[in-house]
Amino acid sequence: MLRGANATVSTAQDPSTARRPRHPTALRHPRGTAARRLGATYLTLLVSLTLATLSTGAAQATDHAWELRVCAAPDEMPFSNQAEEGFENRIADILADELGARLTYDWTAFTSDLINLHFAEGACDVIMGVPDGFEKGLNTITYYQSPYVLVYRADAGFDIDDMDDPDLADLRLGVQGLGIPPHEALRQRRLIDRVARIYGGEEGKDRLGVVVRDVASGAIDVGFGWGPVMAYYAALSPVELVVKPVEPAFDFPSIFQYIPMTVAVRRNDVAMQERLNRAIVARWDDIQAVLREYRVPLMDMPAPFLGDFTLPPTTLRVGVVIPMPTGGRTFVAGVNDLVGNAARMGALQAEGVVNQSGAATDRDVRVLLASSPSAAAATRAADAMLALGEVDALVGGVGAGQAEALAELAAAHGVPFVNIGSPSLALRTECRPTTFHVQPSAGAYLDAMARLYRNGTAPQRWYVVYPEGGEGEELLARATLAAATVGDVVAGSRAVQPGRPVYFDLLDEAKSLGADTVAVLLDAADQLALIGQAEDDGYTLRMAPFPDPVTQTREFLASTNRYGVGKDVPRIQLWEPTLGSAAADMNERFAARWGQPFDAPAWAAYEAVAVLTAAARLTDSADGAALAAALLEVDAGSLGGKAGDVGFRPSDHELRQPMYVVSVNRNAQWGTTLSQRLAAGRLVGTLPEGPLGAAELDALGGVGAPDCGF
């Protein structure tokens, strides 16, 4: 049965002008404070300034309005407009109010650009009013279900009850959209020749109401369309109109004359999905009241029930904020999908492994995923997690600007942030006591490059190609230091813009300066372009590519083979999925679960979740200060399958760790099977060579690293 729509709808006051109800209070979730049992051993590891910073941030975290950013059409009533008069505007306001959020909009028309260039790129995070089963996102629970309806004049002289009414064979029909369920029902009944007009593509402020206006004017006798639109414009008509649901509601083989509507979030954005679900349940009656006010025809639905969301108080809650595949055709964000998706699998792998391996009395961990295609989206996602008290720690940093955003928020709220994606030198100089780095610094990578790509023992001359900007200049300075450390010199350098199409002038300059090796400090795509041009034109310069996180994946190794670029250039990686010994079990368990190689980005996320859980168990607390102190004590090497004296360096919170050298397997055939993917690369060696003690590991990144004085 239907509710909210009478059989006859007459002209009424425009519902968009009605007062917007407000809930008197916004939901607040103060962060629960776990028992503080930080021993004297750990207290000595943090200075009083650090503790003051952490406690101050935690105190500020409970009454902060985070940003709920919605994609919405600027002029598509009754759903939304820029004056926020649509019922979806009203419902979004209710949800934001319930969650203590500040509602903002990214106004754009409902076209493919909204999905690809706004939603998937992170310009907004939520789309209201999306059918359940939306392929390019993740749906919340249904908050209303509305039928398709038929509309005709009250004085028409006929009364249509269902699609089998014989009067339809003699009437002029209009359909709001080619192939919609009523259109298919008419086709099945061989009434398609009675369809005088198929609407769609009209322009103007009230374009969605054209079919109703044509019914009122007599241009057509019966109009078929989506319930919320038809009922809304029927209520505004100067002519009395009849609005009825299309019956039967179901036709064989699978024609449903109703649609369950949800809020859409990005794929894998579990954090946003869960909080919106909670808000829909909490404010169900308010949402239904708005729908009735706008005369939305509604199918009867019971109020939803989600059960108890409460986790055991000892659970460590880790927010993993990373870019993951969205299904949209992105221009920028898609670059990070490869690394982000690997990180997602790594974080979930760690959640399962550490929970399974812990004793009954140990603290478990719960990973909460948030999708962040951009730095702004990462800021909003982490801000929500922290303001609502959903997490005790953050993991992320994949993609430009994301590590910086997460580090700042974590410091303000007094929780640890583990950086798994950014080698940025500038990030390290910020010296935030709450920031820890599993991803090596650019300094550590450059030191490894100076050792790996050095030819023999004689001094050699380097030519450095680096990106324009402040970070690029810091890379050049650090590369110069890395070369000097092994007795080499930088003979020349050039800053370039991202996406530069031609590099022959740089290669000629390097050759004229007598350079032996070109340090290619560019992203993955630009590395392929420069190295490919050097090989195509027969330059004898050795290539030394920077280990950008994207290059540390089997997909990248396969691409070098496919395009014939840099196949003889060994690559530096943070982790290698064919490692044996203690690492073999980790690699095999990951591959068994996901059917993918345990690539470096996945390992970094795994290690981050594992060390945070170990810290919580060590100090028996989820308190931010306690976790930060205990992270310096955990055995990160055994947790991550790496041999040697692996742990966070107290002076700068860098994870002191070995790296691996991998070569491209020239004979590998890329495919979908695990064996084919693993075969894309071959383990060559370890950096540094020899016994991996603290001194040897500090040689990578230790020289010139900031001493933060923690």
Q: Does one domain contain both 598 and 537?
A: no
Query: Is residue 320, in this structure, part of any structural domain at all?
Result: yes
By C-alpha distance, which of 203, 145, 119, 150 is closest to 9? 150
Residue that is last in its domain, among 531, 550, 573: 573
State how far Cα 536 lies from the chain centre: 38
Query: Is residue 505, in this structure, part of any structural domain at all?
Result: yes
pLDDT at 64: 64
* Cα separation, 700 vs 489, whole angstroms: 18
Query: Is residue 99, in this structure, part of any structural domain at all?
Result: no
Find the helix or strand (DSSP H, E) in which 614 lies.
Answer: helix 600-619
* Cα separation, 283 vs 281, whole angstroms: 6
Say if CB 573 and CB 662 are below 8 A apart. yes
pTM for this model (two decimals) = 0.89
Per-residue CA distances from 454 to 271, 375, 448, 483, 519 (Å): 47, 36, 10, 9, 11
Query: Is residue 108, in this structure, part of any structural domain at all?
Result: no
pLDDT at 532: 96
Where in the sequence is the domain holding 254, given as residue range(s)? 148-258
Find the helix or strand (DSSP H, E) in which 3 lies.
Answer: strand 2-3
For 677, list phi and psi in degrees, rounded to 5. Answer: -70, -40
Q: Does one domain contain both 350 and 434?
A: yes
Residues of the chain with pLDDT under 50: 1-62
Sorted by sequence, the CB contacts under 8 Å of residue 563 that are 6+ apart come out as: 528, 532
Q: Does one domain contain both 513 and 430?
A: no
Say if CB 141 and CB 333 are below 8 A apart. no
* Cα separation, 217 vs 132, whole angstroms: 35
Q: Does one domain contain both 327 and 429?
A: yes
Query: Is residue 46, in this structure, part of any structural domain at all?
Result: no
Say if CB 197 and CB 214 are below 8 A apart. yes
* Cα separation, 127 vs 5, whole angstroms: 25
Q: β-strand 144-153 against 222-226: which pairing, if any?
A: antiparallel
Domain count across the chain: 3
Residue that is last in its domain, among 657, 675, 700: 657
Find the helix or strand (DSSP H, E) in which 318 lies.
Answer: strand 316-322
State how far Cα 563 lies from the chain centre: 29
Lookup: tokens for 691: 């016994």
pLDDT at 39: 35
Query: Is residue 138, in this structure, part of any structural domain at all?
Result: no
pLDDT at 564: 92
Q: Does one domain contain both 353 and 409?
A: yes
Q: What is the CATH number of the domain that holds 475?
A: 3.40.50.2300
Is the previous residue joined to 248 through a cis bond, with omega within 30 degrees of 0?
A: yes
Say if CB 9 and CB 242 are below 8 A apart. yes
Q: Does one domain contain both 561 and 448?
A: yes
Per-residue CA distances from 401 to 32, 376, 423, 553, 653 (Å): 29, 9, 11, 21, 19
Lookup: tokens for 423: 């080698």
Query: Is residue 408, in this structure, part of any structural domain at all?
Result: yes
What ranges make up the beta strands (E) of 26-91? Answer: 66-72, 75-76, 80-81
pLDDT in tens, 57-108: 333 344 568 999 999 999 999 999 999 999 999 999 999 999 999 999 999 9
Find the helix or strand (DSSP H, E) in which 195 lies.
Answer: strand 195-199
* Cα separation, 442 vs 705, whole angstroms: 10
pLDDT at 63: 55
Q: Does one domain contain both 566 and 609?
A: no
Q: What is the CATH number of the domain that holds 242?
A: 3.40.190.10
pLDDT in tens, 460-493: 999 999 999 999 999 999 999 999 999 999 999 9
Residue that is last in its domain, among 548, 573, 598: 573
* Cα separation, 280 vs 263, whole angstroms: 10
For 418, list phi and psi in degrees, rounded to 5. Answer: -110, 115
By C-alpha distance, which of 576, 445, 573 is closest to 520? 445
Q: Does one domain contain both 250 and 206?
A: yes
Is the previous residue joined to 650 through a cis bond, with omega within 30 degrees of 0?
A: no
By C-alpha distance, which of 171, 141, 170 is closest to 153? 171
Residue 517, SS3 per DSSP: strand
Q: Which residue has the tokens 């994949």?
A: 398
Query: Is residue 520, in this structure, part of any structural domain at all?
Result: yes
For 180, list phi and psi in degrees, rounded to 5. Answer: -70, 160
Q: Does one domain contain both 451 and 566?
A: yes
Q: Does one domain contain both 546 and 610?
A: no
pLDDT at 678: 96
| DSSP labels, 140-163 | ----EEEEEEEEEETTSS----ST
Q: Does one domain contain both 436 and 322?
A: yes
Q: Does one domain contain both 348 and 496?
A: no
Lookup: tokens for 242: 């009849």
